[in-house]
Chain A
Amino acid sequence: MLKDVADPNAETAPDSPHGWALTRRDLLVLGGLAAGATAGLAGVEVVAATAPHDGGTAAGTPEPVRRVPSMCQMCTTACGIIGHVRDGRLVGVEGNPEDPNSRGGVCAKGVAGPSVLYDPYRLLYPMRRVGARGEGRWRRISWEEAYTEIGDRLRPLREQGRPEEFFFQQGRNRSADAVRRFLNAYGTPSFFNHRALCSLNRRAAILATIGESDWDLGDYENSRYVLNFGSNWAEAHQGHIPVATRMMRARSTNGAKIVTFDARLSNTAALSDEWFCVKPGTDGLIALAMSNVICAEELWDRDWFDRWSNLPAAEYARHLARYTPEYAQAESGVPATAIRRIAREFAAAAPRCTTICNRGSAAHRNGFYNDRAITVLNALVGNMGQVGGWCWHPRSAWDTDALPEPEPVPPKPVRRSLIAEAKGWPLANAWQRNQMKVAEIVYLWIKEGRQKASALMTYNCDQAWSFPDTRLIREVLTDTELIPFHVCIDVMYSDTADLADIVLPWTTYLERWDIDSRPPQSLVDYVGLRQPVVPPLGESKDIREIFPELARRIGGGMETYYPWNSVEEYLAEYFAPVPGGLDHMRRHGVWQDPTKKPAYRPYERQLSADELAGSRTDPQTGIIHQGSDPQTGEPLAVGIMIDGVPRRGFPTPSRKVEVHSAFIADRGDEAGVPIQPLPVYEPIPAHQRDFAADELIMISFKWNVHNAHRTSQSKWLQEIAHTNPAWLNPTTAQRLGLRQGDWIEVTGHRPYDRQVPGGDGGVIGSLRTRVHLTHGVHPQVIAIAHNAGRGQGGPFATNGVDRTHQPGYGRSADGDQGRIWWAGALSVAQNTIMPIYPDPVSGQQAYHDTVVRVRRV
């Protein structure tokens, strides 16, 4: 129409589609007025370029690709990556072969990093809520305004001696030093993580048994037999690539056998030699029955067990006698003959055999006991710490003695937090260095007024979508009386950000710094650097920049813990002990001390004369003490006499593997929650009855291309998996008169269980989805992937809820619009019907125990 309007002979232009026509006369009037109106206003200027733009040349000669080593954070495995950068843009991601954990491997999530970095719906500017919480009205604000407002909110709490009223809720955090420094400098103990929703039971079981690590690192690569209890290491495990690549190598080089017990045919189960479909919550009983077989048939390593555990093998055998394979078959569905056979195979492969377990065994009301039984099964065959066996490393990350946190380090808070301490769950915080909290009760307890929350900061967490009973969480987050001020720091808009007062745009892991490492799968600790592969987009910032500035605004001495002028300066100090320092880390991404050896059999190490100087040995127990605990005055154990030799042993109270743990029983007694000192099978109360025909046990799972809310933001990954129908066994479907694709309503119930908050058996909510028929799920189970159901975050994140520009829905210029797999996407928020359901002894959320009713709609 420009031609018509610009044509001096034309008086009018055709009608606009918006009910308004532009005549040439109008244009001239408008133009004249607009020229006057815009004079002197700051706008976009287009100026003469003095050189070709920095994105190559008009002739199309691109700059060479720059390779920048860093660390992934699409999940929490933190694999080493190399970003390929051209013309200032990230064009690809590959694995870093120098990383000793991932060894050049990277998964689908990892290579999809650019799609999150350049997600058109990511947060790029600080925003302040206008109107009511959840109304969705926002305005952009400057960082200066954001800092001022947050500082003004947090400063009085600290000055008035109420720092515990500042709550900090994190999700997966790979910047632990930065978070810890800020919260400790502020003085709040009200720090909440998601561990109880993740791996608490596994960690607690390991700590109770061996004392020095909360993370087993099976030496899979050298193993000949792996028993997998519900770990989906091929898709979603915290050690995904490091574990999966070693498992596959074990199969190809050692002919290792992998046996998986899982209620669902995961891709891990499919990669295994054998898959046994078990009833949820019975993994521990299977392990106990195998232990029974091993004892009864004397397949054990009795010498090792009697030397290194605190319970005689014969006594443990007597304890196990009740757990027969037939009993396990009746409860789990796994044939007794298979249990016997596998027990024999496992023992025959010892010591080059190991277990692995995770949420499949742990995320139950009886998950702690399940994982205790599985862990102790290893002791029975003497594979602990052995080549190819069940191993661990004393350090869950880098060597903090060699690379200590730069001073000044703030002291721990002196104030108390009732919710963080969660004393009703005795094992959640039983280990001083591994406090795990009980995440699922935080918002319930805020609602109940148990602890006042005057300000909440959410960091990389979407609790309004990913925690159980999300309706309750949204209700609490919406209530400005319960939470008067809420700041949310995240890369993307989320259901939680939607209920914040201020949203701060966080950098992706591709735009920021971290010191980081994972438990070392090759049993030699290492340290890694996450560095910006590209500069931060928009006005996004990392907490390493945000927290020091907030500390300065809050003042009162907080600022003294941030003497560095930049993040690089801080990290240069941190990495100073590394040969070549930060410069080495920037060039390689990782460093590993070449003099260190794999941590096999650490308990056998003979104590040196120096270590024994001034020590005394308890004649009854053989425990070697040296000095005393400065806090308790109790003698400090440093080792144990074994066959007359002073050895390091295990850092448990007995300095041995604690098959019998008085420590956990005592913690239970203190809390009034009985805890069995020995591994036991404790049936799930809500499952101990005859189910009605329409009653099933609901479990959740993750796809291989998804992690949590961050991956649902990735268009590339959503193209691969973006729907979550309910998996049902055909025999179950037949009983319920259901067919493939039928719509069903799934209604979740709270457990009828007096030890669970709100455990009255009542209805929590319903969802609607479609049926996916597969023999790959237990007949008593309904399985729904939890990687969907977001209500906020843009068209890709919501899988069809937001249809404005959704490929496959309505108008879109997206070239992918016609791709058939977008059609019929489901977006089911499973957590809306998942009750708060903590394991009474530990607080681990029982994600796989909810009883639901299913009906066709």
Chain B
Amino acid sequence: MSTPVDTAVQRAVAATWRLASRTFAVEVDPPFYAALVRLSAEAGLRATGLDLMEDRLRSLPVEQALEELAVEYARLFVGPRPLVPPYASARSGRALGAGPRRALEDFLAAYRLRPVPPVAAPIVAVDHVAVVCALLDTLHTAAAGDAEAELDRDTAREAIDDLHRSELLSWVPELLSDVADGARCGPYRPVARITLPLLP
């Protein structure tokens, strides 16, 4: 039996992973940029000490800011020679999509889930960090009892426990830490910082 506080926390955690998934999945586009600017202006967020879009970027014409953000996204995740290869397989020195991808696919299959990246997203395998973030969003959403899908609250909580007990997420803290250390602008560093504490 969940308490209202518990449910609220699950929802908050889910939303934070959702923000992370969107941030890591694809470059910042105009709608997301507008959302980030709005979010940055929120007094509540400022009170936490986080700034999702620094003043320097906000002072630029939108197109220029978007280009800077696109360069930063490529530098971090796409390359050439990404600073933070976003795949579990690559981070473990394996071939792209090898090893950890299969384990994650098996996990998804066990819970009858299937990730659907946006068409434009530079994602070629399910062991991409944005997919993992989306999975955590989905599971926490279901754990809060808000899932539209078949995943019930107890199964979702069981899946979250499974996920955390397994090695499936072992690479994610280091990745987020690398993003927090290496990002130079935009939402990447703050988003990595707020999601890092959500992992055991």
| A binding-site residues for B, Cβ under 8 Å | 1-3, 5-6, 8, 13-14, 16-18, 20-22, 24, 26-38, 40-49, 52-53, 55, 57-58, 60, 89, 114-115, 117-125, 127, 130, 136-140, 142, 493, 497-498, 503, 537-539, 715, 792-794, 802, 804-805, 807, 812-817
Contact = CB atoms under 8 A, between A and B. Distances in A.
Given A20-B193, A130-B67, A121 B113 contact: no
Interface in B181-197: 181, 192-194, 196-197
Contacts of A60: 106
B116 A31 contact: no
B96 interface: yes
B78 interface: yes
Given A2-B199, A34-B19, A48 B93 contact: no
Contacts of A139: 27, 67, 70-71, 73-74
Nearest to B141: A46
Interface in B58-79: 67, 70-71, 73-75, 78-79
A55 B101 CA distance: 10
Question: Which of B75, B95, B200 has the most CB atoms of chain A within a 10 A radius of its CB?
Answer: B95
A502 B131 CA distance: 29
A30 B12 contact: yes
B122 A140 contact: yes
A703 B118 CA distance: 43
Contacts of B16: 27, 30-31, 34
Bin chain B's interface residue count. Answer: 35 or more
A67 to B, nearest CB: 20
Contact of A813 (B11, B120, B174): B174
Contacts of B80: 121, 123, 127, 136, 138, 493, 497-498, 503, 792
Given A5-B9, A804-B83, A55 B115 contact: no
Contact of B81 (A14, A38, A124, A794): A794
A730 B9 CA distance: 72
A48 B116 contact: no
Contacts of A40: 31
Contact of A30 (B96, B131, B194): B194
A20 B45 CA distance: 13
Given A43-B22, A813-B92, A1 B197 contact: yes
Contacts of B193: 16, 18, 20
6 contacts: A5-B13, A46-B108, A47-B149, A120-B89, A127-B80, A814-B92
Contact of B74 (A16, A31, A138): A138
Given A30-B45, A792-B81, A137 B75 contact: yes
Contacts of A807: 93
Contacts, number: 260
B57 interface: no
B12 A32 contact: yes
Contacts of B3: 8
B109 A53 contact: yes
A89 B97 contact: yes
Contact of B15 (A31, A136, A817): A31
Nearest to B95: A118
A46 B95 contact: no
Nearest to B137: A46
Contact of B200 (A3, A8, A55, A127): A3
B43 to A, nearest CB: 10
Question: Which of A32, A33, A34 has the most CB atoms of chain B within a 10 A radius of its CB?
Answer: A34
Interface of B: 3, 5-6, 8-16, 18-19, 21-22, 25-27, 31-32, 35-36, 38-39, 42, 44-45, 47-50, 67, 70-71, 73-75, 78-83, 85, 87, 89-93, 95-98, 102, 105-106, 108-110, 112-118, 120-124, 130-131, 133-135, 137-138, 149-151, 164, 171, 174, 177, 180-181, 192-194, 196-200
A125 B77 CA distance: 12
A312 to B, nearest CB: 62
B135 to A, nearest CB: 5
Given A44-B25, A48-B112, 13 more contacts: A1-B196, A26-B48, A27-B16, A30-B45, A30-B194, A41-B35, A43-B22, A44-B21, A46-B134, A52-B109, A55-B102, A60-B106, A139-B73
Nearest to A87: B102
A648 B150 CA distance: 80
A8 B5 CA distance: 6
Contacts of A52: 109
A511 to B, nearest CB: 12
A33 B46 CA distance: 11
Contacts of B12: 27-28, 30-32, 34-35
Contact of A45 (B134, B151, B194): B134
Contact of B150 (A13, A48, A118, A119): A48
Contacts of B151: 48
Contacts of B10: 6
Contacts of B15: 30-32, 34-35, 38
B8 A28 contact: yes
A101 to B, nearest CB: 29
Nearest to B86: A120
B149 A123 contact: no
Contacts of B9: 5-6, 8, 24, 27-28, 31
Contacts of A138: 71, 74-75, 79-80
A125 B193 CA distance: 28
A25 to B, nearest CB: 9
A24 B16 CA distance: 13
Given A1-B197, A6-B6, A44-B121, A127 B74 contact: yes
Nearest to B38: A37
Which 9 residue pairs are nearest across A and B when measured between Cβ atoms?
Answer: A31-B12, A814-B93, A120-B90, A118-B95, A493-B80, A44-B134, A35-B15, A58-B109, A49-B114
A537 B35 contact: no
Given A27-B9, A48-B150, A812-B93, A125 B78 contact: yes
A136 B5 CA distance: 48
A24 B3 CA distance: 15
B174 A46 contact: no
Contacts of A32: 12, 15, 44
Nearest to B98: A118
A127 to B, nearest CB: 7
Contacts of B42: 33
A5 B124 CA distance: 33
Given A29-B44, A43-B134, A13 B197 contact: yes
Contacts of B105: 53, 55
A124 B90 CA distance: 14
A44 B104 CA distance: 15
B48 to A, nearest CB: 5
B118 A42 contact: yes
B71 A125 contact: no
Contact of B32 (A41, A48, A49): A41
A735 to B, nearest CB: 43
Nearest to B69: A139
B198 A5 contact: yes
B114 A53 contact: yes
B133 to A, nearest CB: 8
Nearest to A716: B95
A64 B153 CA distance: 37
Contact of B177 (A13, A17, A89, A794): A17
A505 to B, nearest CB: 10
B200 A2 contact: yes
A139 B66 CA distance: 10
Nearest to A497: B80
B163 to A, nearest CB: 11
B113 to A, nearest CB: 5
Contacts of B196: 1, 16-18
B18 A34 contact: yes
Nearest to B143: A6
B47 A47 contact: no
A124 B181 CA distance: 25
Contact of A118 (B67, B83, B97, B164): B97
Contacts of A44: 21-22, 25, 115-118, 121, 123, 130-131, 133-134
